[in-house]
Structure 1
Amino acid sequence: MSNETIEALVTQLDAVDETPGAAAQRARSYELLRAAPGALVADVGCGAGRAVAELADRGVRALGIDVSDQMIALARRRWPAGEFRLGDAYALPVGDGEAAGYRADKVVHALADPERALAEARRVLAPGGRVVLCGQDWDTFVIDSADPELTRTIVRERADQVASPRAARKYRNLLLDAGFLDVTVEVHTGVFTGAPFLPVLVRLAEVCRERGAITRARADAWIADQRERARADRLFAAVPMFMAAATGP
């Protein structure tokens, strides 16, 4: 990724992580891991490393893994005490059966082959280990705007640019097909009404504009509407977050 892309992605992830309810959702994902103190949990696609630090605070040996060396460098700067390694979701730098937990937050939708990633999750998990998948379905963003038709276009076109945009609705079946047991699925809908979420909405439109799905003028008009909504305390967006958990055989 270019530095500009990394910066935009980190800005977006930080905005989501700092919204009301986000910390509680992360905490719920940690609870579902059921990791004992000192147990190794692989946080796959760790990004800037916030979850690694929070898991470590719970006494877990958290290992952050990301395919981007820039993200790993950023995570190490932000959380110097954390453990981070460069690695691919299809080939994790973890030995067979070494991990008690596997967590992937906002990751599976970015993978062209989720089934292969879950086979790798099974490889690194010890018998009875826990897997937790978290993420949004890219077709289910709800955004209030002055132009609903353009909003539908932006949501649909942005989804079509994701490798596996509807992976979240498939979490249960993906886990079952991979041989995991006791699969559960929860949905936690995030409701966003403040300016901190504005960078996420701006990025949605900008990515569509960069790919030629909408014109510069249409993107600017849509973004201006969202900026005005944020200024007037009228911004509204809702994003269902799917959280699936299962136990390894």
Structure 2
Amino acid sequence: MDENRTTGRTSDDTDALITLLDLADTLPGAGELRARSYELLAIAPDAAVVDVGCGPGRAAAEMAERGARAVGIDPDERMIAVAGGRWPAADFRVASAYRLPFTDGALHGYRAEKVYHVLDDPARAIGEARRVLAPGGRIVLIGQDWDTFVIDADDAALTRTIVHARADLVPAPRVVRRCRNLLLDAGFADITVEARTMIFTDAAMVPVLADLAEGARAAGTISDAQAGAWVAEQRERGRCGRLFLALPLFVTAATRR
């Protein structure tokens, strides 16, 4: 099993993440959310834009299809290889959110979806975004607050414990609450925040819920038996159409002065 040199993930870890991201890209409302982010970027023909933490590359490819000179960047070499294989007409590069491969003021648009929660220094990434954006350039950040998974379950207290324990494993689980202020601190203007709540009621989201429970179990917050019983309940809810998960996503946009 080869270790990814830039992220510390194994190739198996990356494959599992790709599977999860592919699922997220095809969920009801995901396409509309991506389209809204492109509108907020105000993409014009031949505009230079970057998708930071591009994953398997769908958003970068879609922006390129809209006429932008889009570049997808990700620190995971295998992720970039997969993106390039899927979307050979698009431009994908291995790079960090802290050190983008562009000169000062080179870009018209900067997009990052479900990325900032994994960064240990989101303010530094915002500063790098400001550096590469031209005056008047647009930034759009999409993310979830990891403390606000809304899940129907028989044991509400256990569910709260699972959600918060899993959130505590994320480097910046509540960064979406800070994005507006981070952009203000960096001198951005015209800042807007939109909320989109995605609601799921079938078995497609059981793997996501199982991941929450496994994170809490691995952290020692809940027992093996508690995790197993909670996931079994969610699996049964999914099987009979009784699952309920609401996931608020926040879209923060701004203009580089």
TM-score range, shorter chain: over 0.9
Unaligned runs of 5+ in 2: 1-8
Q: Secondary structure at the match of 1:182?
A: strand
- Aligned partner of residue 11 in structure 1, secondary structure: helix
The superposition leaves residues 36-68 of structure 1 with CA deviations (integer Å, 9 ceiling, x where unpaired) of 111111100001111011111111111000011
Counterpart pick for 1:178 among 186, 189, 197:
186
Tell me, in whole angstroms, the C-alpha distance in 2 between the residues paired with 1:214 and 1:107. Answer: 27
- Alignment-derived partner of residue 102 in structure 1: 110
- If asked which structure has higher relative contact order (CA below 8 Å, sep 6+), I would say 1
Q: What amino acid does structure 2 have at the position aligned with 1:177? A: D
Amino acid at match of 1:29: S
The letter of the residue matching 1:14 is: D
Offset at 1:187?
Answer: 0.3
SS of equivalent residue, structure 2 residue 249: strand
Note if contact 1:19-1:197 (Cα within 8 Å) is conserved in structure 2: no
Alignment of 1:68-87 (within 5 A): 68-87=76-95
8 A contact 1:198–1:230 mirrored in 2: yes
Aligned to 1:194: 202
* Partner residue in 2 for 1:217: 225
Structure 1, unaligned runs of 5 or more: none
Shift of 1:5: 1.9
Q: What is the SS of the residue equivalent to 2:253?
A: strand
Measure the CA separation in 2 of the matches of 1:159 and 1:117.
Answer: 21
Q: Secondary structure at the match of 1:101?
A: strand
1:229 equivalent in alignment to 2:218? no
Q: Deviations over 1:200-223 (max 9, x none)?
A: 111111222233332222111111
Measure, in 2, the Cα distance between the counterparts of 1:213 and 1:3: 28
Identity of aligned residues (%): 60
Q: TM-score, normalised by structure 2?
A: 0.94
TM-score (norm 1): 0.97
Asked if the contact 1:41–1:99 (Cα under 8 Å) also holds between the matched residues in 2, the reply is yes
Q: Does 1:247 align with 2:255?
A: yes
Question: In the alignment, what sits opposite 2:57?
Answer: 49
**How far apart, in 2, do the equivalents of 1:9 and 1:210 lie?**
18
Letter in 2 for 1:192: F
Instruction: Give the number of aligned pairs.
Output: 249
The CA RMSD over aligned residues, in Å, is: 1.1
